[in-house]
Structure 1
Amino acid sequence: MPHQLPPKGDWRAWVILGGRGAGKTRAGAEWVRSKVEGARPFDAGACTRVALVGETQDQVREVMIFGDSGIMACSPPDRRPKWVGTRKRLEWPNGAVATVHSAHDPEGLRGPQFDAAWVDELGCAAVDKGTNQPNTFLDAKSSESDLPHYSNGARDDLIQKQYLRAIYSYWGQAERNPVSIEYNAPMLDLSRSFVWAWDMRPYPFFPNNTVQWSDGDNYTRGHWINGRTGARTLASVVGEICTAAGLLAYDTSALHGYVRGYVVGEVADARASLQPLMLRYGFDAVERDGVLTFRTRDGLVTADVPAPEFAMSEEMEGTLEQIREAEAEMVGRVRLRFVQADGNFETIAEEAVLPDEATQAVATSDIALAMTRAEGRQVAERWLIEARVARDTVRVALPPSWMAVGAGDVIALADAEGSTGQYRVDRVEQGAMQMLEAVRIEPGVYTPSDMQDLLATVRGFVPPVPVSPFFLDLPMMTGDEVPHAPHLAITARPWPGSVAVYSAPTEEDFALNTVVAQEAVIGLAQSTLVCHAPGIWDEGAALEVRLLHGTLSAVTETAVLNGRNLCAIGDGSSDNWELFQFRDAELIGPDTYLLRHRLRGQLGTDALMPDAWPVGSWVVLMNGTPTQIEMAASMRRVAQHYRIGPARRSLDDPSFVAQVQAFDGNGLRPYAPVHLRAEALGTGDVVLTWIRRTRIDGDGWDTPEVPLGEDVESYRVRVLREGAVLREQTVGAPAWTYGAAEQAADAALGGLTLEVAQISARYGAGLAGRIAVTL
């Protein structure tokens, strides 16, 4: 198959990425043939001495040579090599030879000057005792699924790291990796060695996205090194902290642990930096002969001290003093907060509770270490049980012959009745004799509980795709809105989960303003929407709308009158939106609807209605999803800078959209007066009258007039000719007289427009009502 062929070009190494059945063995066998075979059966090929290397010699023979896709099965009869079992090698008709070698006998590769090698996988599963059988691992879908010899099946990332360290450190030494006289290079080129299994799938989405990749469950105890290569051994981390503190006389050889990630949040001394590690991994630091020695707590007894060896001390009554803390001082519930590894690296908590715990008191600890959930639970359990056992302490005096016993040692003590307990020495006072203070331990505490290491959960990948934001400076719709703050509707493909809105007075010092959690129902008009009188049903041609997201649905006429199916249609600018409602919505194609039986110019937006909204106008469903942003009343009509983008990405991400906006606060804007009438008197005067509307509580029918809604009643009246203002006047009642003398002064002859707008003390003049007159 194409993926089994060597790529074109001058290559030295190439990789076949695939699982079982992908044809890796067949490709390797064919590659060996291509190197040793000539044009004819007895012609020499490019190579004459080949090494076949596997985990064991039996594996090389059964898979690489005699396997279904091995060398023998791939070779035609006239070129098929002969297997010489007594010498463990293949012999081709043209004289080429391939010898079998085992990873367990690396010295066997010394001596022969190979000019080609086919080496089976280098790798070790992250499972307990994985180095016993590096190529053995668990796979529920395979008949070859198995654990290494003597393995308990627990996850062990450290053994995998130690395996790779051993392999590379061994072959990295010149005396073990000699330079060939044939090609003047080391026998093994470690810069071009490949570890099974490095995987191109992105970590941590692999292994956690098991819907996409069905082998994700194999990761925890499998060969993958994704997400593991950046981890450190506990010994190396402790050593680095000591070196940074200027302490060079230390010994970490007895430390065993795997550090997935550790944050030292503050500049502190070495003791403070080591404390979280000591709590997590359970080790002690003791001084011995001028060297600070670190020891992992394992419960192994260092010395067995029988009762006859106890000394008499004036500080004690008897030879052994036993103390037990009060039961009331014991904590029966421990909660540990840590960073979850292999996922989103978020802070999570695990809790351990003793079965006899009756209170709700919890001892909580936070450590800045990355762990899997199973490791966090194991640590919490160890803390809890270790603390409960350690409430038993002893003091004992030992003669000078026991000077070798020191802090950190585990000793077995027998009391007067002959019962024996194990204790860890925490304090030593040396004088004429040794005074030891020790706490009781149970070796089983240091064996992690058997807990399945489940996969973590990860958030879906959010591609850096810009969002499409629409600011809508609208009148109040329910009366509960902040009247001066605009609404924001956002759509995106794909939707990033949540969108962050940042604001600032300038192009710097942005602060988080709002987080929008839901995508708005937004569409584009596919037909024109012509002007129609407000307050009566618009039964004209249907408005065709193609949605970018969401759905629309028909409702009853009563529901419309109660506020349902309210939409804004506009050109995309913040203050040019007409509000309308619809009763009928007919789905005519993918995401495409016909909207009929409409109410136009709702909530005072009839004054913004053009002769026709053109094709391409934006339509936003005002169903509560478009939310208001945070904006102080003092920021009305003040330009602000906004950056809008996925909340999971940083402010400087290219997916963020930048806008500069200033909002009038149209929730404060008075409605345009209606029913304008102009009556000419015999004197030549023209009397203009109108009826005001209100933006607050205007739907009631039990009052003679709607509420004023403003501090005082005031109107701006203008006389216009072709848009030019001839006269402007402010009046305090819904009537105005345009006198004959004023008309003469304005040269107001011919066609004119009279315009009336109600004035708000906070907003200014609102939308205007107009009437055409001829004088």
Structure 2
Amino acid sequence: TLSYWSDAANNPTSSVYGAPMIETNEAALWTWDARPYPDFPAREDVWSDAANWRLGHWMGGRLGQVSLGALVRDLCRAGGLPDALVDVSELSDIVPGFTVAALESPRASISVLARHFGFDAVESGGRILFRTRGRAPSATIRPDGLVGGKGEVMELVRGQETELPQALKWQVVRADEEYDAATVEARRTTVAADGVTAERFPLAASLEEADRRCRRALLEAWAGRETMTARLPPSMLRLDPGDVVSLDHDGRICEYRITRISDAGQRAIEAVRSDPDIYDMPPGNARSPRLSAPAVFGPADVALMDLPQLGDAVPAHRPYAAVFANPWYGNAAVWRSTGSSGFTLLDAIGQPARMGRLAADFPAGPTDRWDDGSRLLIDLSSGTLASVTDEELFAGANALAVESAPGVWEIVQAGAAALVASGRYQLTHLLRGQRGTEDAIGNPAPTGARVVVLDAATVPLSIAEADLGLPWNWRVGPGNAAPSDAIMQALTFTPNGRGLRPFAPAQARMRRLANGDLDLRWLRRDRALAADSWVLTDVPMSEASESYEIEILSGATVKRTLTVAAPTALYTAAMQTADFGGPVASLDVRITQIGALGRG
């Protein structure tokens, strides 16, 4: 545009105000769009005018391209040719991108461009001229105007069809689709040939233009199977390779493009048939690019949970982390520090957890047997749940952690799962307070409380036992983000070693002896996963020694604490009289087993 208006013939000086019609030195770009390329125009679902970009005046996506002439000139400079010896004025095509794909000479790179764009390099007058094809004829020749010699004055040869490709396939790089490889194809259908030629070009291009150039190259090959050799008279010394001549012969006129001239005594030329129509074909059909949606990450939903031991391979003292983000980071990092800085990377989490929220209050229910009266209604952020058999349930399937109070998690297993709405599941046929979490049963657990599906995505944190009881600061977020990044979730969490605390004893009973003493007995439970085995003759012992504390209660008041080393205790008549003024008919007690971290 600037070249056009810089020409005085197109931009005359006004006789009124003495200046050109358009001040080119004050020109500015118009329609530089803030919408990013290639999203505009690729995302037609976002911008309704995207289809206009192809033939419109937008500069976005175009200014970063280079002209074919400038690229060829630069390659000539790399080969040692000064600009004065190179003429690229005819090369007006645009190159979105080009790669020198191998250790090759500038000439080899120019040959790749010449094949794709259809131009020739010729030497004329001591300069290298780069000439486009499809030129108008520079002269007309007739057999009677050619120079005679040995043999015929002119020789026409037509090659075999079977030596030509039926189809031509080109692979290019899509400039508008994240530089992915793409293929265009040109094919002739009514020919005897059946060969296919495939070529790869290390350049970026629009598929519409690549399709047009591929069709041009195939038709050039078919037109070029007709060749001509002749000897020109001295009057045609002006002709150079790349020029087109018209041959008037046998009542018809055909065009030939000169490919070689030899001046050894006579001016002999070699030429190939040229069809001007193949250089004026429309672009190929538009192909909308398929761009991947940009990943916009937000803070994750994170649950740091002090849970009982969930697997034999996991040390009992370790807490668990569940992380969910959509889209998923690919890898989530867990950092920790005792202060507000100096965070250390602790663990990496490779898959998102299935997390959700209670869609309704979750009431208390029975333990140690089926809870078929309660329902657990949850909204799951991702993933699915399915019903399982009782055998699968006993093997650990469909385990969930329900946060009945902040930091307090009940483990529930569900045998039946029904999808009642999008992402909403109703879970029934429940086992409550699993793995010794009956003390965490809410009454009720409120609507909106967090729920985590306990599977391989719930990861144990690799802390040491010495870290228990310390109020750590945590940062959780994308694996490639720094702990100080705004996207990181900041949490404070103190692991207390729930997995090391003994389970509550079971089946407590009381019997009055003849002397008025009360004999208290119970069954010991153990936190070891093997304790649920039905084939063992005795319950395993995970603690260093067996010890219990029994609190004698009067309402909320503790009247007396007994300490014993076996699952039995004697509350004597004298103790009853001292605590209650006489024998008692019923008794409220709290029995806890003592472990390395204190009461269970």
TM-score band w.r.t. shorter chain: 0.5 to 0.7
Deviation at 1:443, TM superposition (A): 1.5
Corresponding residue of 1:465: 298
Corresponding residue of 1:606: 435
Q: Residue 439 of structure 1 aligns to which amino acid in structure 2?
A: V
Q: Residue 619 of structure 1 aligns to which amino acid in structure 2?
A: V
Alignment of 1:100-179 (within 5 A): 163-167=1-5, 169=6
Corresponding residue of 2:143: 307
Q: Residue 599 of structure 1 aligns to which amino acid in structure 2?
A: L
Q: Distance in 2 between matches of 1:504 and 1:320?
A: 81
Among 254, 261, 284, which residue is 1:428 paired with? 261
Q: Distance in 2 between matches of 1:197 and 1:323?
A: 52
Alignment of 1:543-622 (within 5 A): 543=376, 545=378, 549=381, 567-569=400-402, 578=411, 580-581=413-414, 583=417, 595=426, 597-600=428-431, 606-607=435-436, 611-612=440-441, 618-620=450-452
Alignment of 1:342-741 (within 5 A): 342=176, 344-356=178-190, 362-398=196-232, 402-413=236-247, 420-449=253-282, 451-453=284-286, 455-468=288-301, 490-492=324-326, 496=327, 499-501=329-331, 522-523=356-357, 533=367, 536-537=370-371, 539-540=373-374, 543=376, 545=378, 549=381, 567-569=400-402, 578=411, 580-581=413-414, 583=417, 595=426, 597-600=428-431, 606-607=435-436, 611-612=440-441, 618-620=450-452, 644=478, 718-721=544-547
Matched, 1:254 2:128: no
Q: Residue 545 of structure 2 aligns to which amino acid in structure 1?
A: V
Among 235, 260, 268, which residue is 2:69 paired with? 235
Q: How many residues align?
A: 504
Deviation at 1:271, TM superposition (A): 2.0
Decide whether aligned partners of structure 1 residues 524 and 176 sit closer, same or farther in structure 2, where only a CA change above 3 A counts: farther
Q: Is the CA contact (8 Å cut-off) linking 2:165 and 2:194 kept in structure 1?
A: no
Q: Is the CA contact (8 Å cut-off) linking 1:259 and 1:370 kept in structure 2?
A: yes
Q: Residue 444 of structure 1 aligns to which amino acid in structure 2?
A: D
Q: Deviations over 1:244-271 (max 9, x none)?
A: 4432210011222122333445564322
Q: Distance in 1 between matches of 2:120 and 2:544?
A: 89
Q: Is the CA contact (8 Å cut-off) linking 1:525 and 1:619 kept in structure 2?
A: no
Matched, 1:291 2:120: no
Ranges in structure 1 where 5+ consecutive residues have no aligned partner:
1-162, 477-485, 660-668, 679-685, 699-704, 724-737, 740-749, 756-769
SS in 1 for 2:122: strand
Q: Deviations over 1:135-186 (max 9, x none)?
A: xxxxxxxxxxxxxxxxxxxxxxxxxxxx25544x569xx99799x99xxx99
Q: Distance in 2 between matches of 1:300 and 1:595?
A: 79
Q: Is the CA contact (8 Å cut-off) linking 1:313 and 1:319 kept in structure 2?
A: no
Corresponding residue of 1:320: 155
SS in 2 for 1:253: coil
SS in 1 for 2:165: coil
SS in 2 for 1:370: strand
Q: Distance in 2 between matches of 1:345 and 1:487?
A: 39
Q: Distance in 1 between matches of 2:137 and 2:384?
A: 74
SS in 1 for 2:281: coil
Decide whether aligned partners of structure 1 residues 691 and 556 sit closer, same or farther in structure 2, where only a CA change above 3 A counts: closer
SS in 1 for 2:478: strand
Decide whether aligned partners of structure 1 residues 262 and 607 sit closer, same or farther in structure 2, where only a CA change above 3 A counts: farther
Decide whether aligned partners of structure 1 residues 504 and 522 sit closer, same or farther in structure 2, where only a CA change above 3 A counts: closer
- What's the % identity of the aligned pairs? 22
Corresponding residue of 1:270: 106
Decide whether aligned partners of structure 1 residues 310 and 706 sit closer, same or farther in structure 2, where only a CA change above 3 A counts: farther
Q: Is the CA contact (8 Å cut-off) linking 2:378 and 2:424 kept in structure 1?
A: yes
Q: Residue 501 of structure 1 aligns to which amino acid in structure 2?
A: N
Corresponding residue of 2:570: none
Alignment of 1:205-220 (within 5 A): 205-220=39-54
Q: Is the CA contact (8 Å cut-off) linking 2:256 and 2:274 kept in structure 1?
A: yes
Q: Residue 50 of structure 2 aligns to which amino acid in structure 1?
A: G
Q: Distance in 1 between matches of 2:153 and 2:94?
A: 45
SS in 2 for 1:254: coil
Decide whether aligned partners of structure 1 residues 691 and 618 sit closer, same or farther in structure 2, where only a CA change above 3 A counts: closer
Q: Distance in 2 between matches of 1:471 and 1:752?
A: 26
Q: Residue 227 of structure 1 aligns to which amino acid in structure 2?
A: G
Corresponding residue of 2:584: none
Q: Deviations over 1:302-358 (max 9, x none)?
A: 3323223444566x777415251460x322222222233445443322222221379
Q: Distance in 1 between matches of 2:101 and 2:14?
A: 43
Q: TM-score, normalised by structure 2?
A: 0.62
Q: Is the CA contact (8 Å cut-off) linking 1:177 and 1:187 kept in structure 2?
A: yes
Q: Distance in 2 between matches of 1:300 and 1:487?
A: 75
Q: Distance in 1 between matches of 2:128 and 2:171?
A: 30
Corresponding residue of 1:137: none
Corresponding residue of 2:559: none
Q: Is the CA contact (8 Å cut-off) linking 2:174 and 2:207 kept in structure 1?
A: yes
Q: Is the CA contact (8 Å cut-off) linking 2:170 and 2:198 kept in structure 1?
A: yes
Corresponding residue of 2:577: none
Q: Is the CA contact (8 Å cut-off) linking 1:390 and 1:439 kept in structure 2?
A: yes
Q: Distance in 2 between matches of 1:717 and 1:368?
A: 70
Q: Distance in 1 between matches of 2:400 and 2:122?
A: 74
Q: Deviations over 1:6-57 (max 9, x none)?
A: xxxxxxxxxxxxxxxxxxxxxxxxxxxxxxxxxxxxxxxxxxxxxxxxxxxx
SS in 2 for 1:308: helix
Moved more, 607-616 or 380-389: 607-616
Q: Deviations over 1:71-111 (max 9, x none)?
A: xxxxxxxxxxxxxxxxxxxxxxxxxxxxxxxxxxxxxxxxx
Q: Deviations over 1:366-425 (max 9, x none)?
A: 32433333212212212222223223334434455544333222233456x565543323
CA RMSD of aligned residues (A): 6.1
Decide whether aligned partners of structure 1 residues 655 and 307 sit closer, same or farther in structure 2, where only a CA change above 3 A counts: farther
Q: Deviations over 1:272-319 (max 9, x none)?
A: 3323432332111111122111111114223323223444566x7774
Q: Distance in 1 between matches of 2:144 and 2:177?
A: 56
Alignment of 1:738-757 (within 5 A): 753=593
Q: Distance in 2 between matches of 1:401 and 1:243?
A: 35
Q: Residue 289 of structure 1 aligns to which amino acid in structure 2?
A: G
Q: Residue 380 of structure 1 aligns to which amino acid in structure 2?
A: C
Q: Distance in 1 between matches of 2:369 and 2:190?
A: 72
